Amino acid sequence: MRRIASGDNKPSGEGAEGTVFWIGKPTILAFYDALAGGALLVIVSALLHAMPLPWAAMLSAVGVASGLLLVSFAFAKARANTYVVTDKCVRRQYRFVAVKVEEAPLEKITNIVLEQDVVGRALGFGDIRFDTAGTPFAGVLFKGVKNPAEVKRLIDEKVKGF
C-alpha cells in the first residue's frame, strides 16, 4: 500500500476521477482464515495418506488439492482488490474473472469505521468501512488495509473538506 499525496509513485494523476491521494491493496494476512484453513486441510490430508485404508490415498489427494486451492484463492483475492482514494471519491476495484467497482463520492460518506480484530491488531492491518447516504448501496469496504489508522486519518481529512 502506498500513499500518493507527497508526489512519489504518482499513478494517473489528474483525471476524470480526480487527483489520486492513496492507492492500496489488501495484505494477504487479512485472509488468514482461508490460509490457515487451507494449510490445515493440506496437513490433515497428508496425514490421512499414511492410513492403511484403500480409499485413504484418493481422499488424501482430494484434500491436499482442495487445501492448495483454498490458499491460492486467498492470494488471488488479495491481488484482485485495489483501493483508491481521490479528491472526489473512495473506490474499491475487484478484477479477477469479472470486474466489480464500488465507488462512494466523498460528499455522500456519512461515517468512516475502522475495524480491527485481535489478529489484525497483532499483525498491523484492519478494515475501513465507508457508510454512505443517498446511494443505492450501503457503502464501500477496504478489507485488510495495512496501517489502517493512518489511512483512515488521511480519508477523514478529505471527507471533512466537504
Q: Tens digits of per-residue pLDDT, 59-76?
A: 888 999 999 999 999 999
Q: Would residue 10 be called left, alpha or beta, if left means φ above 0 and alpha means ψ between -120 and 50 degrees?
A: beta
In a domain, 147, yes or no: yes
In whole angstroms, give the CA distance from residue 153 to residue 156. Answer: 5
Out of 30-34, 84-88, 117-121, 131-135, least confident range? 131-135
Percent of the chain exceeding pLDDT 70 equals 86
For residues 107 and 71, state if they share a domain: no
> Is residue 71 located within the same domain as residue 91?
no
Residue 101 and residue 137 in one domain: yes
The answer on 50 and 98 residing in a single domain is no
Domain that holds residue 154: 2-26+87-160
Residue pLDDT, tens place only, 99-157: 999 998 888 888 899 999 999 999 999 999 998 886 666 789 999 999 999 989 988 88
| E-state strands within 20-106 | 20-24, 81-86, 89-95, 99-105
Confidence of residue 5 (pLDDT cuts 50, 70, 90): very low
